[in-house]
Structure 1
Amino acid sequence: MAKTESGNAAAGRALSGVAADSRETAASRRGGKPAAQKNEEFNLTIEDMSDDGSGIGRRTGFVWFVKDTVVGDVVRVRVTKVLKSYGYARLMKIITPSRHRVSEPCPAAHECGGCTLQMLDYREQLRMKQEKVLNALTRIGGIPADEIKMKPIFGMDNPWRYRNKALFPIGKSRDGRIIAGFYAARSHRIVECGDCLLGVRENQKILRVILDFLEEYGIEPYDEETGKGLVRHVLIRKGFSSGELLACLVINGRSFPHSGDLVSRLMLIPGMKSISLSVNTARTNVVMGKEILPLAGEPYIEDSIAGVRYRISPLSFYQVNPVQTEKLYGTALSYADLKGGETVWDLYCGIGTISLFLARKAGKVRGVEIVPDAVRDARANAELNHMENVEFFAGKAEEVLPREYREHGEKADVIVVDPPRKGCDRALLDTMIRMAPKRIVYVSCNPSTLARDIRILAGEGGYRLKKVRCCDMFPMGMHVETVVLMSRVRD
């Protein structure tokens, strides 16, 4: 069976095969004839998977992307769109199912744009994700495969009901009912789903109360086309260790009619601690507004991971899978190998989740985060845990770290980075190399940019890749988290 990597890496590899097979491709297009016409049907074997969970197959050197297929499927497809070197097709029939194909337990699985891998056996999901990271490290990072010490990926015993956060768009069905659900793939069409199998069971209870309330009082959901209507989304969070619940309604306005009645109903749900409004009156795809108006309870809920307590507000960044977060951050702490006197910089620190893990064993920790609200939460979390050896800076990591190094001579024994999908800015990598910490612990949600940055640290920085471990934070989805240890071998 072909190696399974996903994302742009997989697509790039598949598309590069077209160049290698250029004579065959040219033959299929001789005389200006395209690889296939729209609505044409043919059989296809799925060899790979893309970032959005679509299967990838090739026919006469031409790449096709097919939703709802997995590696090993032999399928009948119908062409929907043809581009220069690749195209899209719709699954019409599964001729021979992959040996890894399973039945999806969620009735909305095919329409919903959330889960993309429900039809793939979980063990194969894990294998595919680890292979994806290994391929990126060797192909993009330039690290020989025999030098990569990769431990088995952290999977879940039960890969369901793991999300402590859910964000439901609110709209109307074709028959005029007010509904909640998730957007269909590549659209803003709401697929009705009040009980996502990845989310906590309380989501269904909270949504039912809110939807019934909206119907009873005739409160309209927001309409993206007209810009009218009040309720845009419902955000729900749960503290897994505390059992505390937060409900936040994103509204197209600054007030909510009959809010006292809604609060009374929601507060009857066991665990409900925080109810608020998020003001978002902009014609935008950005979900949350910057202003939060409290309705009842505290402005936050609390949760804890491995004994470290955190306060989580509607705008806080907090990992959505607390069971796997403990494994992920525990691995980062292990790789940091702290003895008690080290200075550690934690870049892209969010609300201080990793920082506080590190602070229990470090001499001092300095965290950097671009979102001011997150920095305020981080400082509050440090105070909540009585940790005085932590300091937080608000700003871009690629600006704060160079400034503190240049102007104040800051040093680091260990640097931990947990950047967004775009990876680390080059100015930040250059500063890290000049600071020359003994160890760099890189936590990544994107294997491609992780591999790119590792290539720089290993090539110009004098670091060597020592350890790698993946963690499946998002079962049934394509993304994977990775923790890497880079040790300095050149002074």
Structure 2
Amino acid sequence: MEKRIEIGDRLEVTMDSVAFGGSGVGRHGRLVLFVPFAVDGDTVEIEIDGIRRSYATGRICRILNPSPFRTEAKCPHYERCGGCQYQHIAYAHQLELKKRQVGEALARIGKVPDPPVREVLPSPMPYAYRGKAEFHLRFAPGKSALIGYKEAADSRIVPVSRCEIVDESINRSLDMLRKKLEGPSPSNRRGGKGEERVVLWSEAGAASVEPGHSPVRGNRVLRQVKGKILRVPAWGFFQANSSLVETMVDTVVRACALSGAENLLDAYCGSGLFSLFLAPRVQRLFGVDGDREAIGCAEENLREEGVSNGEFYAGDVGEILKKHFLERKTPVDVVVLDPPRIGCSADVLDGLLRLKPSRIVYISCNPTTQARDMRRLLDGGYTLKELQPLDMFPQTKHIEVAGILER
């Protein structure tokens, strides 16, 4: 009879795989073990720190025999800072793991046998690729401001002097911010707020920015993609990987397979990154997003490029889908979906099934919610043709996937 595992027990375990989310997976008898910062091939001594009905979690005490896929993390804050989960894994193997995880999500959640997953498109820059970073600031009377990221295990701030995955111009801005905030914080500093966030944008990927100058202009940031200038809200969303964003645009354009005669709906369009390159290739383009400021940027971005066949709506995607397309019987041939990480709401998916576009290009940074939503669309008559992962987030557990569905 196997000894019952308890909190604090130490075990020797060999890791078999890496789960979506970043934890290494091993077994002790029939018990599944999840161990952060482990990689398949590692033999490690762990201490059990959590027990559930069907699995347990542990932390690495010692690496007894390192995996051939293990490498040295570049960041001194790694394993404390919550930003990265894969720096201990060689980059080529990160790509293999992410491809496998995308396929597993579609098979397990989407119930798709043998999903058509292509090879992951790698980032040209495995480090120093982020064009935007959000830091947390904490102020306490009589103390210098604390600047950093949230800790991986809880909500405490990990002070960071630099970040290895952001463009170097962001690290320079971070250093300037730190020097600006040096010295004790009075009790009324920052209007009495104890904690706040600050967003820093890179000079790389920016339009018309001199070295050493901020790319932020008022409440907007100018980004340049494939020779075109995009205006983005300073606090708004934009694709994180400056070195791979052009490849992502090309991937989406290819996936749409346009002839020039289509009506295309760009749902969750943000500031119009995809719209800007899709509109010249279709008869009419409709963009929808819940962020009114982003919609204003999208309209301006197309107008400044001389593109006049785009119409944009600010509001809930499901409601606008019903009011402006289903009730008015506005035909749509192709839909580009790029929802937030939580995926699409039921009314959006139901609306798409009623709208019946011939092709849906579903872009997601969360394969689990994408698989869930795709199952609904597949049940509604669509066929999954392709899944193209793009590694927009090297060194992290995240992966972007562009999926093509046809009916």
TM over 0.5: yes
Q: Measure how far apart 1:353 and its partner are.
A: 1.1
Q: How large is the Cα RMSD of the aligned pairs?
A: 2.5
Aligned amino acid, residue 468 of structure 1: L
* Higher-Rg member (1/2): 1
The answer on whether the counterparts of 1:221 and 1:231 sit within 8 Å (CA) in structure 2 is no
1:339 equivalent in structure 2: 259
Contact 1:222–1:231, Cα closer than 8 Å, also in 2: no
Q: How far 1:218 moved relative to its partner?
A: 4.3
Residue 422 of structure 1 deviates from its aligned partner by 2.4
* 1:211 paired to 2:178: yes
Question: Would you say 1:308 and 2:277 are equivalent positions?
Answer: no
Question: 1:130 aligns to what SS in structure 2?
Answer: helix
Distance 1:199 1:243, change over 3 A: farther
* 2:340 counterpart letter in structure 1: P
* TM-score normalised over the length of structure 1: 0.77
In structure 2, what is the equivalent of residue 163 of structure 1? 130
**Taking structure 1 as reference, are residues 39 and 144 closer, same or farther at Cα in structure 2, changes over 3 Å only?**
closer
Separation in 1, partners of 2:404, 2:188: 48
The corresponding residue for 2:247 is 327
Residues 170-217 of structure 1 deviation map (CA, whole Å, 9 limit, x = unaligned):
2379x9543322111132222221210111212232222222222257
Contact 2:43 2:67 in 1 (8 A): yes
Q: State yes or no: 1:479 paired with 2:398.
A: yes
Q: CA deviation at 1:473?
A: 0.4
Local SS of the residue matching 2:97: helix
Partner residue of 1:439 out of 341, 349, 359: 359
Deviations 1:298-322 (A, max 9, x none): 3322112123321122222111112
Over 3 Å counting, the alpha-carbon distance change for 1:134 and 1:221 in structure 2 is farther
Q: Deviations over 1:346-365 (max 9, x none)?
A: 11111111111211211111
Distance change (3 Å), C-alpha of 1:60 and 1:151: closer
Q: Matched residues in 2 for 1:411 and 1:378: separation?
A: 22
Say whether the 8 Å CA contact 1:219–1:230 is kept in structure 2.
no
Alignment of 1:80-99 (within 5 A): 80-99=49-68
1:429 aligns with 2:396: no
Q: CA deviation at 1:57?
A: 1.9
Is 2:212 the counterpart of 1:270? Answer: yes
* 1:198 corresponds to which of 165, 169, 179: 165
Distance 1:338 1:396, change over 3 A: same
- Which residue of structure 2 aligns with residue 127 of structure 1? 96
Q: Please tell me whether residue 62 in structure 1 is matched to residue 31 in structure 2.
A: yes
Q: 1:43 aligns with which of 12, 17, 22?
A: 12
The question of whether the paired residues in 2 share the 8 Å contact of 1:244 and 1:301 is answered with no
Residue 242 of structure 1 and its aligned partner are, at CA, apart by: 3.2
Q: Counterpart amino acid of 1:472?
A: D
Distance 2:266 2:349 in 1: 14
> Which amino acid letter does the alignment assign opposite residue 42 of structure 2?
D
Deviation at 1:111, TM superposition (A): 1.4
Instruction: Note the C-alpha offset of 1:133.
Output: 1.1
Equivalent of residue 307 in structure 2, options 382, 387, 406? 387
* Displacement of 1:371: 1.7
Residues 467 and 486 of structure 1 are in contact (CA less than 8 Å); yes or no, is this contact kept in structure 2? yes
- Supply the distance in 1 between the matched residues of 2:207 and 2:188 (Cα, whole angstroms): 29
**In the TM superposition, what are the counterparts of 1:237-248 in structure 2 within 5 Å?**
237-242=201-206
Q: Are residue 234 (structure 1) and residue 198 (structure 2) matched?
A: yes
DSSP 3-state at the match of 2:377: helix
1:214–1:220: 8 Å Cα contact kept in structure 2?
A: no
1:279 paired residue number = none
Measure the CA separation in 2 of the matches of 1:235 and 1:241: 16
Q: Tell me the alpha carbon deviations over residues 3-24 of structure 1, each in whole angstroms, 9 at most, x when there is no partner.
A: xxxxxxxxxxxxxxxxxxxxxx
Give the paired residue count: 406
| In structure 2, C-alpha distance between the alignment counterparts of 1:165 and 1:72, rounded to whole Å | 34
Paired letter, 1:456: R
With the length of structure 2 as denominator, give the TM-score of the two structures.
0.92
The Cα offsets for residues 137-189 of structure 1, whole Å up to 9 and x where unpaired, read as 233323331xx44332100232111101111112379x954332211113222
Partner Cα distance (1:487, 1:82) in 2:
43
Q: Is the 8 A contact 1:336 1:414 kept in 2?
A: yes
Change (3 A) 1:211 1:149: closer
Residue among 109, 123, 129 paired with 1:140: 109
Q: Distance in 2 between matches of 1:244 and 1:219?
A: 37
1:239 to 1:386, Cα distance in 2 relative to 1, 3 A: farther
Residue 123 and residue 448 in structure 1: after superposition, are their counterparts in 2 closer, same or farther (change >3 A)? same
Rounded to whole Å, the distance in 1 between the matches of 2:82 and 2:230 is: 30
- The Cα of 1:417 is off from its aligned counterpart by 0.7
1:114 paired residue among 53, 58, 83? 83
Contact 2:289 2:316 in 1 (8 A): yes
**CA distance in structure 2 between the aligned counterparts of 1:370 and 1:480, rounded to whole angstroms:** 24
For residue 150 of structure 1, what is the amino acid of its counterpart? V
Q: Hey, what's the Cα distance between the residues in 1 that align with 2:6 and 2:184? A: 51
Opposite residue 74 of structure 1, the aligned amino acid is: T
Q: Distance in 2 between matches of 1:105 and 1:406?
A: 52
Find the aligned partners of 2:185 and 2:350 in 1 and give their Cα distance.
57
In structure 1, what residue type is equivalent to 2:150? Y
Ranges in structure 1 where 5+ consecutive residues have no aligned partner: 1-26, 30-34, 246-267, 275-296
Q: Which amino acid aligns with 1:270?
A: G
Q: What is the distance in 2 between the residues matched to 1:112 and 1:155?
A: 24
Larger displacement relative to structure 2 (473-482 or 234-243): 234-243
- 1:239 deviation in Å? 4.8
Conserved? CA contact 2:120–2:388, under 8 Å:
yes
From 348, 351, 361, the counterpart of 2:281: 361
**1:208 alignment partner, SS class:** helix
2:368 to 448, 454, 463: 448
Q: Distance in 2 between matches of 1:405 and 1:312?
A: 27
Answer 1 or 2: higher relative contact order, Cα 8 Å, separation at least 6.
2
- Gaps of at least 5 residues in structure 2 are none
Contact 2:225-2:246 at 8 Å conserved across structures: yes
Secondary structure, in 3 states, of the residue corresponding to 1:47?
Answer: strand
Q: Is the 8 A contact 2:79 2:152 kept in 1?
A: no
Matched residue SS, 1:330 = helix
